[in-house]
């Protein structure tokens, strides 16, 4: 096979690494604040601020304290917030009915954010685990198995409640079969034609979600149960492409791979196969690992933060959900 590249010594790849201006000129991938979606945890009440012990620097905050966070996003150029509710235990039920309460925490948060910051994107999670007393993403039958079609009916109600509140993007993270098509049909039926769907298409049954479940308060409800009967097996890659294909056919505008760095191969395969807007979620466990290593002096915090985010872009992600969003945006600006 004929090579297009001059052999050494006529070809010296290090010439393009000699100085900073040359490295900047030939760099293939870069991260900007426009690439970030910032996940936040919101709880009810006023002036409520609760640190998440397993996620240093991350807090659960009430709506009034979320507004300054949204303002920071605007100033730093982070285009979108992703809302995750922390629901009082008294409101959690086996059927998760609080998920579609029009006066609930999520609709009120969406309305306030869109009123104060209309140009800031707002994304909401469509799943029942923050609202169920058992901590699962769906309804259970008498044996404890998660019911698919019955759950989808509730998810449609939840998504429509969020759309009526004015959310920009609904993001079903539940991994029920057929929920994208059902939600899209529901949105179209109420003429929410501009509401985007970002599907958690390849969401794996991962051990990296632990700190997130602490943050939203579902870990204690879930107990020793798991989500392997609906989230994907970490050993599968072809299945991820099938899931993405189904979600796109049902009306998803964007797709997501979750977790992030342990699944960069999936990001690359999805982007190569479908060439659609593809996102990755740098999940709580990934964030916690980097934070812990940096706190112990084993890694340089800012350097590994930015390098990890660049890895997503290099793998083909168009955007990244990351708890580092504000810190990374500040660092990139400086």
Indicate which residue of 92, 227, 258, 271 is catalytic: 258
Active site residue 157: no
- The residue whose two tokens read 């812990």 is 292
The CA-CA-CA angle for residues 193, 87, 280, to 5°, reads 55
Active site residue 224: no
Task: Give me the helices (H) in the chain, please.
Answer: 20-26, 63-76, 105-116, 149-165, 179-189, 210-216, 219-222, 238-250, 264-274, 284-295, 301-315, 325-333
What is the distance between the alpha carbons of residues 288 and 40, in angstroms, rounded to a whole number?
15
- The residue whose two tokens read 């058992």 is 134
Indicate which residue of 203, 271, 291, 313 is catalytic: 203
Residue 121 backbone phi and psi in degrees, to 5: -70, 140
DSSP 18: S
Phi-psi region of 129 (alpha: psi -120 to 50; beta: other; left: phi over 0): alpha
DSSP letter string over 177-241?
TTHHHHHHHHHHHTT-TT-EEEEEEEEB--GGGHHHHHHHT-HHHHTT---TTTSBPTT-SHHHH
CA atoms within a 13 Å half-sphere pointing along the CA-CB vector of 80: 21
Burial state string for 104-119 with b = 16 or more CB within 10 A and e = fewer than 16? bbbbbbbbbbbeebee
Residue 14's SS3 state is helix
**Residue 251 burial by CB count (10 A; 0-12/13-18/19+): exposed, middle or buried?**
middle
Residues designated catalytic: 203, 258
């Amino acid at each position: 096979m004929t090579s297009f590249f001059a052999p050494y010594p006529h070809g010296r790849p290090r010439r393009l690494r000699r100085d900073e201006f040359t490295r900047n000129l030939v760099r293939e991938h870069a991260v900007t604040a426009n690439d970030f979606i910032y996940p936040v945890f919101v709880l009810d009440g006023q002036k409520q601020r609760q640190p998440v012990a397993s996620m240093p620097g991350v807090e659960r905050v009430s709506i009034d304290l979320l507004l300054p966070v949204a303002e920071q996003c605007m100033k730093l150029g982070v285009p979108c917030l992703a809302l995750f509710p922390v629901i009082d235990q008294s409101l959690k039920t086996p059927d998760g009915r609080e998920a579609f309460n029009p006066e609930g925490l999520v609709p009120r948060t969406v309305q306030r954010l869109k009123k104060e910051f209309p140009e800031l994107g707002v994304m909401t999670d469509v799943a029942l685990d923050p609202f169920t007393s058992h901590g699962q993403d769906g309804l259970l039958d008498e044996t404890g198995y998660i019911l698919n079609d019955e759950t989808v009916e509730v998810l449609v109600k939840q998504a429509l409640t969020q759309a009526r509140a004015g959310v920009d993007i609904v993001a079903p993270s539940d991994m029920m079969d057929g929920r994208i098509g059902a939600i899209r049909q529901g949105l179209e039926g109420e003429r929410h034609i501009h509401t985007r769907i970002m599907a958690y298409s390849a969401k794996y049954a991962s051990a990296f979600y632990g700190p997130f479940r602490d943050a939203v308060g579902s870990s204690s409800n879930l107990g020793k149960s798991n989500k392997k009967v609906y989230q994907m097996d970490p050993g599968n890659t072809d299945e991820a492409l099938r899931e993405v294909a189904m979600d796109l056919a049902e009306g998803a505008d964007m797709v997501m791979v979750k977790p992030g760095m342990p699944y960069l191969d999936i990001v690359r395969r999805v982007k190569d196969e479908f060439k659609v807007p593809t996102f990755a979620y740098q999940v709580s466990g990934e964030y916690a690992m980097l934070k812990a290593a940096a706190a112990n002096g084993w890694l340089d915090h800012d350097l590994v933060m930015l390098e990890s985010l660049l890895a997503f872009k290099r793998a083909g992600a168009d955007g990244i959900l990351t708890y580092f969003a504000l810190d990374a945006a500040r660092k990139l600006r400086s």
